Amino acid sequence: MHDYIVIGAGSSGCVVAGRLAAAGAKVLLLEAGGPDDSPNIRIPGLAEKLLDSPFDWGYRTLPQPELLGRRIFLPRGKCLGGSSAINSMVYMRGNRGDYDHWRQLGNEGWGYDDLLPYFIRSEGNQRYRDGFHGTSGPLIVSDHKDRSPLTEMFMAAAKEVGHSFTDDVNGARQEGYGYFQATIGRMGRCSAAVAFLHPAMATGNLTVVTNALSTRLMIEGGRAVAVAYLHEGRPETARAAQEIILSAGAINSPQLLLLSGIGPAAELDRLGVPVVNDLPGVGKNLQDHLYVYARFEVKQPPAPRDMSNAELEAAKHRFMSDGGGPLGSNFMEAGAFMRCDPASEYPDIQLHFELSFGASYFEGATRERNGFAMSPYICRPRSRGEIRLNSADPLDRPLIDPRYFSDPSDLALLVEGLKKALEIGNARAFAAAGARQIYPDPGDMSDAALAHYTRRNASTVWHPVGSCKMGSDPMAVVDDKLRVHGLSGLRIADASIMPVMVSGNTNAPCIMIGEKASDLILAG
């Protein structure tokens, strides 16, 4: 019997399993996907090839009424490393105000000053040497080696239209434009598995089982004691002497709770799932970052992501030989944080500058051009959705309903963010590249036209959170020690526990959650 069972080898689960094993505990880690052994995982510039692949759950949302009935693609990692093995590797923590808000909601120990030591502990920053960053942690965080000339044009354009420069969006001041760091090391992508899991496997305390789909938590006398799972299709059961830690992410963690009879009793009754713990907040409070592209065509220089097949193969060989070349970039080398609502206390829009025009889908047609795109997204959306079971079958996919733009203020804010992106893209600094706005149509820049364009083209940045939120109110699922309300022996450590979305990419915050969770577990 193991001391602990960790379900899910994603950004938080790898940290929890690795830290517990390093502390001497016997840990079993169950991962529904396979190993992280593809060159496409290692090479930063090939991240897009991982989408809708065997390394991705490849989820789709329910049709979204406010997005013209579209179903939105929502990838989630399905391998060791989870989404940190298929993401764009942007290292972003969020704003001090996000975490101070968590503490103000009654979550003791979750303010910014409480959590900064955990960010520092995990981080091996290759540039910053100050009180905001760690230099000896296992997670490599670095600058891009050879920035594109287009990135430098973006920096000049943001300055030209009046934005201020910030040297470190993860430091003292988030607001402004600046270079973005990435979780990329000498050997390529530094996922949570590379940083925390693989080293821990050498301790002898950690057992990792891949292709192991957890199907039910087994509860005895109000305590979680075991996990039923399918290992390569065969039913298995594992028991934990101390605790089970659920780290399956904002989609799969609530799904497993619901399959186990932990959730809203009325919903479970309708599906014939015996109610073990009537917990109404399970699957609710779902939040996600929603973005829309502003796309610009350029004559020169070529955007590195828009390479020909021959150029791509040469770039692969270059990266595998010395870690250099265009595929050493995640193509998101810079961006900005902006306030578009005057009432916001801190930035409410994040902007990614992306080194590719990308594919546009209009009436089923795909158009490829050389250029760049800018994707503003809402930092703290007000819309709330939910995760529900489609049936009591664990092999049936859950119903994902983010309800994007169900709060109309989100649409209004994103349109303002789009205007800011277009202002930067049309600045004189891009003239040397022959930049030309393609989408949205420059012939109609009215608010109504931009709102329609946004409804038609907005999509997710793949940051679902909040579906098992932390707190003490009736809709909370875990307390501030990450213990599931109403049960013992069960904690949740992943993006689902966030009560409110953070202002930035979610990988680094999930690693932080794993760091704090490991301390909470070891403290008893």
Each residue's pLDDT tens digit, 340-354: 999 999 999 999 999
Q: What is the pLDDT of residue 305?
A: 65
Q: What is the pLDDT of residue 309?
A: 80
Q: What is the pLDDT of residue 144?
A: 92
**Rounded Cα distance, 116 and 60, in Å:** 34
Check pLDDT > 60 for residue 63. yes
DSSP result, 216-237 = EEEEETTEEEEEEEEETTEEEE
Q: Is residue 374 within 8 Å of residue 161, measured between CB atoms?
A: no
**Rounded Cα distance, 148 and 22, in Å:** 40
| Average pLDDT estimate for 157-177 | 98
pTM over 0.85: yes
pLDDT tens-digit profile of 353-389? Answer: 999 887 544 333 345 688 999 999 999 999 999 999 9
Decide: helix, strand or coil at residue 83: helix
Q: What is the pLDDT of residue 323?
A: 81
Percent of the chain with pLDDT over 70: 97
Check pLDDT > 70 for residue 477. yes
**Rounded Cα distance, 510 and 524, in Å:** 21
DSSP 8-state secondary structure symbol assigned to residue 480: T
Q: What is the pLDDT of residue 145?
A: 85
Check pLDDT > 90 for residue 134. yes
485 CB neighbour count, 10 Å cutoff = 17
Alpha helices in 201-308 (DSSP H): 249-259, 265-271
338-341-345 Cα angle (round to 5): 75
Q: What is the pLDDT of residue 361?
A: 40
Check pLDDT > 80 for residue 402. yes
Tokens in use for 189? 């992508």
Give me the residues paired with residue 294 across strands: 374
463 catalytically annotated: yes
**Rounded Cα distance, 82 and 86, in Å:** 7
Ramachandran angles phi, psi of 157, nearest 5°: -70, -40
> Structural domain boundaries of the chain?
144-180+290-378+405-457
Which residues fall within 8 angstroms of residue 19, CB to CB, at 6 or more apart? 196, 200, 514, 515, 518, 522
**Rounded Cα distance, 341 and 348, in Å:** 7
Q: What is the pLDDT of residue 520?
A: 98
**Rounded Cα distance, 351 and 337, in Å:** 6
Which is nearest to 402 in space by CA: 248, 258, 287?
287
Q: What is the pLDDT of residue 308?
A: 75
Q: What is the pLDDT of residue 485?
A: 98
CB-hemisphere CA count at 13 Å for 160?
16
| Average pLDDT estimate for 147-159 | 96
Q: What is the pLDDT of residue 315?
A: 87
Least trusted range by pLDDT, from 359-363, 391-395, 500-504: 359-363
Tokens in use for 221? 């006398």
Pairwise pLDDT comparison (236 vs 524), residue with the higher score = 236
Q: What is the pLDDT of residue 311?
A: 83
Check pLDDT > 90 for residue 192. yes
Give me the residues paired with residue 228 across strands: 216, 237
Average pLDDT, the chain: 95
| Average pLDDT estimate for 319-336 | 90
pLDDT tens-digit profile of 94-126? Answer: 999 999 999 999 999 999 999 999 999 999 999
CB-hemisphere CA count at 13 Å for 262?
28
Least trusted range by pLDDT, from 41-55, 129-143, 202-216, 295-309: 295-309
Least trusted range by pLDDT, from 154-163, 264-273, 304-313, 383-392: 304-313
Q: What is the pLDDT of residue 359?
A: 58
Decide: helix, strand or coil at residue 309: helix
- Burial (0-12, 13-18, 19+ Cβ within 10 Å), 335: buried
CATH classification of 144-180+290-378+405-457, choosing from 3.30.56.10, 3.30.410.40, 3.20.20.10, 3.40.50.300?
Answer: 3.30.410.40
| Average pLDDT estimate for 240-260 | 98
**Rounded Cα distance, 9 and 253, in Å:** 12
Q: What is the pLDDT of residue 368?
A: 63
Q: What is the pLDDT of residue 366?
A: 46
Q: Is residue 377 within 8 Å of residue 290, measured between CB atoms?
A: yes
Catalytic residue, from 2, 163, 198, 463: name it: 463
